[in-house]
Amino acid sequence: MKIGFVMEPIPAKNLKKDSTLLLMFEAQNNGHDIYFIDSKNLFMKDNQPYCKYQKVEVSLNDTNFNVLSSSENTMNFFEVIMMRQDPPVDYSFIVNTMILEKAADLGVNVINNPSNLRNLNEKIFALNFPKFCPPTLITSDFEIFNNFLKENEHIVVKPLNSMGGDSIFQLRKDDEHLSEVYSKISKEGEVKFIAQKFLPEISIGDKRILIINGKVPKHAVLRTPPEGEFIGNLAAGGSASTIELNEQDKIIAQTVADKMLDFGLYIVGLDMIGNFLTEINLTSPTCFRELNDQAGENLAKLFVDELLGH
């Protein structure tokens, strides 16, 4: 089987930590041909989806990544395309999902479903499970925002389309930086953002739970903020450890997992703080490597064995 992986240029990746490379490695081990597709190299010609690609061999270290050949073709050259382009979900990302929809129309199995990568915002999508979410506001209006802060006294504010802990702020009631944060996060009131009640359990860390093929794992990755900080994302300097899911984790994860295949979402990352669901990551969920290296739970192999097979 020919499997293409849409992602950012490989030299920019951390080969010892990158989740997509583990997925590539496991697909390769199952006898599939694997191809790197730079996210910039998807294009349309005469209403047909094309891409430039490289056939590659991978290993799980930082010294052995081989390009075997380079070419371009219509996307139905592949049986499967893994969409692993990182956020932000900007105009370039959106156009790529449109091109990948054309590939799906030609019979290519595109994972995750490209239309839902475009239509389901990772932070808003979590609100489909409201009983598991903290008090949440989405707005660009200052008065509504300020009233929400007064009601909850301590909140976290973040953009709707970012990743990796980028541009996340915490505010307390009557904070002197309120107007400044509002102006920055809303781009002077022009852009909607998300605000949530601050959860003090973040001092322990936030949990990433990977849902693979609609199945709940045994372990989560606990991302702990640096001392004195409140952002646990690994890209923002957090540290990773693994823990077994508790009963509430399992209830929330299973409830979400039961719905994911209906949306064509085969790789999903839940973010939880304490007993609350804060995000459902759809675009290129990470932490496969941490689970494999620290807990011996290889969800990339599970994905490849079950969904792609030999």
Per-residue pLDDT of the chain (310 residues; tens, 9 = 90+): 999 999 988 665 577 788 999 999 999 999 999 999 999 999 999 999 999 999 999 988 766 678 999 999 999 999 999 999 998 889 999 999 999 999 999 999 999 999 999 999 999 999 999 999 999 999 999 999 999 999 999 999 999 986 555 678 999 998 899 999 999 999 999 999 999 999 999 988 999 999 999 999 999 999 987 765 656 455 556 678 999 999 999 999 999 999 999 999 999 999 999 999 999 999 999 999 999 999 999 999 999 999 876 4
Residues of the chain with CATH 3.30.470.20: 201-308
Give yes or no for a contact between 99 and 254, defined as CB atoms under 8 angstroms apart: no
DSSP designation for 10: G
Residues of the chain with CATH 3.40.50.20: 2-111
CB within 8 A of 302, min separation 6: which ones?
Answer: 212, 213, 215
Topology of domain 2-111, per CATH? Answer: Rossmann fold (3.40.50)
CA distances from 132 to 247, 251, 273, 283 (A): 14, 10, 11, 21
Question: Roughly what angle, to the nearest 10 degrees, separates helices 178-186 and 142-152?
Answer: 130
Which two structure tokens, joined as six digits, stand for 36? 């790197």
Topology of domain 135-198, per CATH? Answer: Dna Ligase; domain 1 (3.30.1490)
Residues of the chain with CATH 3.30.1490.20: 135-198
Three-class DSSP category at 46: coil
Our CA angle for 12, 13, 19, nearest 5°, is 160
CB environment 30-66: b (16+ within 10 A), e (fewer): bebbbbbbbbebbeeeeeebbbebbbbebebeeeebe
CB within 8 A of 24, min separation 6: which ones?
Answer: 5, 34, 56, 58
Q: Sign of dihedral through CA atoms 153, 158, 160, 165?
A: negative
> Which architecture does CATH list for 201-308?
2-Layer Sandwich (3.30)
